[in-house]
Structure 1
Amino acid sequence: MATLKLPSHVPSPSEDCEQLRKAFAGWGTNEDLIIQILAHRNGDQRKKIRETYHESYGEDLLKDLDSELSSDFQHAVLLWTLEPAERDAYLVNQATKKLTASNWVIMEVACTRSSQQLLAARKAYHAKYKKSMEEDIAHHTSGDFRKLLVPLVSAFRYEGDEVNMTLAKTEAKTFHEKICDKAYNDDELIRILTTRSKPQLNATLNHYNNLFGNAITKDLKADPEDEYQKLLRSAIKCLTVPEKYYEKALRLAINKLGTDEKALTRVVVTRAEVDLQRIAEEYKRRNSVPLDRAIAVDTSGDYEKMLLALLGHGDAC
C-alpha cells in the first residue's frame, strides 16, 4: 500500500504552477508550500505540473527547484519530482560512478520493479545517457557481481500469477545442490533467479524450505561477510519479500552511528507510491518503533517535513 496522501480536490496543473512560482518569488523560498504541493501529487500529476510549468514559463521546474533548494531536502524533492523511469535511470547511473558506486542500488532497481517499469528505466537511461544501462553496468562491475547484475537489469519476467509447481520443486533442488557445492555463481542458479516470474520464485523458495527445512537466505550465509553472497541474499529478498529488504535498508540508514540520508531518501521516495505502508508496518514489527517517529528523531527541518509528508503526514493542498 502507498502512503502518498492526495487532497480531496486536486488543483489544476496551472494553479499548482502559479503557487510554485510564488514559492520561488521574493527573498526567501517558501519550502512549506513546495512540500504541500509536490509531496501530495501522484506521478501523473507531477508530470503534468512539469509540462505545464515549461509551457507557461519556458523554464524547467527541476532546474528552478535545484537553484532554490539545498542539501538533503533538495535531493529528496528533485528525486520525487522525476518521473519513475527517469528516477530509476538516474539512480542506476549514480550507482555506476566511482564515488557513488553501489551494486546494491542496481540490484534494488532491477529486482523490485515490474518488467514494464524496468524496460521504461532502460529506455530512459538510453535517452538520457546515450548508452545502454546493461553496457554501463557491465563496464563498471566485474566478476560475480557483473555475472548477476547484468542479467538482472536485462530481465523481462512473466508478470502473471501462473505457477508451475513441478518446475518449482525441481528448481528448489537445483538451488540446494548449487548451494551445497558453494557454487553461488553457477550459471543455472543465476538463470533461474534472473528469468523466473516472482510468483514462480516464491513457489520455488517455499518448496526449498519444505524440502530442506531452511530458508534459502539462511543457507546462503556460509560466509556472512562475503559481499557477493550478501548481494545474492538481498536479490532474493527483493524479488520475493521486498518489504523485508526495504525494512533492513531503512534500519541501516537510520542508526546511532549516523544517518545515511541518500539511502533513506531513496527508499521513501521510490516506495511512497508503491508499498511504503507495508514497509512501515514491517519496520514497526521489527524495531518496535513507528517509522515516522524514527525518521523524525533522525532528521530535521524541511528534509524531515518532506519525508514525513511522503509517509502521509501533513496537509495536502
Structure 2
Amino acid sequence: MPQVDARPASGYVGRFAPSPTGPLHAGSLVAALGSWLMARHHRGRWLVRIEDLDPPREMPGAAAAQLRMLEACGLRSDGPVVRQSGRDALYQAALDRLLASGDAFVCHCSRSDLAMHGGRHRGRCVAASPRPDPAIRLRVPDGSRIAFDDAVLGRIEQDVATEVGDFVLRRADGLWAYQLAVVVDDGAQGVTDIVRGADLLDSTARQILLQRRLGLPTPRYAHLPLVVDGHGHKLSKSSQALPLRPDDPLPALRAAWQALGQAPAAVAAAESVPAFLRSATAAFQPSRMPSVPVALAATHNSDVTNPD
C-alpha cells in the first residue's frame, strides 16, 4: 500500500467525502460540519475527498459547487482535495493483492443466477455460463462477524456472511465499487476517524472486513444522525433537500449545529462564518450528538425544527 500522508501531532485525521451527484444539501452539511468539528476538537487534520467513481450518476459541475459551498462555510481541507477518479492504480493494486491471496474471485453471475442460489454468493461464482463482463467479489466465509464501537451509536455487530455475502469490489461495468475505493483511500490518506451519516452504517462492517484483508488499520467510527424531512424521509431523497446558498451560509451552519445536538446559544452571537466556527469549535461537545434522526424545516438554509 502507498505511504500515508503525514499526521498531525495528535494523530487524528478525519475526512469528508461527498459524491458529486448534486449540490450539497442540509444533510450533507451536517456530515461536513460534524466531521470538521470532531477533527478540530481532537486538534487533528480534516481532509476533503471527492468520490467521483460513478460517472452515470454524477451531475456536471456538482463537485465544483460542493467545494464552493464548503469554502463559503469556512470548511477548508487541511490537504489537497483528492478525487477518486484519478486513483485507479491504487485500487487495481489492492484488487490484485486480494485476487492473488484468494480473498477475491471473478464472478460471472447474473441476477437470475443469484436468485437460483438464495440471492447471495457463498464463496464462489455460481453462474450458469461465463459472461464477457464479470465482476470481482470479496470472498466472505461463514463466521465473518464484525463488531465495533461507534462513538454515537454504541456497540454495532453484523454477520457479513449472512446479511451481505460476497460483495462486489469491481463492478461488471468495470467501475470500482465504493467499498474497495473508500477503504483503499482511507488507508492511503492515514484516516484515523470516520465521522459520517448514519445512512452509511450498514457499509461499515464490510469495510472493516476489507481493511483486515488488506492489512490496513481500522479507523474509529462515529455515525451522525440521519437528517430527515417533516415526513421522516431521508433528506437527500426528499423534495425538501433544496441546495444550500453559498452567499448566505450562516443559517445553514446554525441548522447543522443544532442537528448535531449542540446548544443554539453557543453560536447565537456569531454574525460571520469565522465567528461561528470559532464559537462552535470552543463549545462543541461530542457527547451531545444525538443517535436518532433529526428533522429539518423545508426551506433553503433552514433552521432545525426541534433537534431534541
Q: Note whether the superposition's TM-score is higher than 0.5.
A: no
Greater helix fraction, Structure 1 or Structure 2? 1
Higher relative contact order (CA 8 A, sep 6+): 1
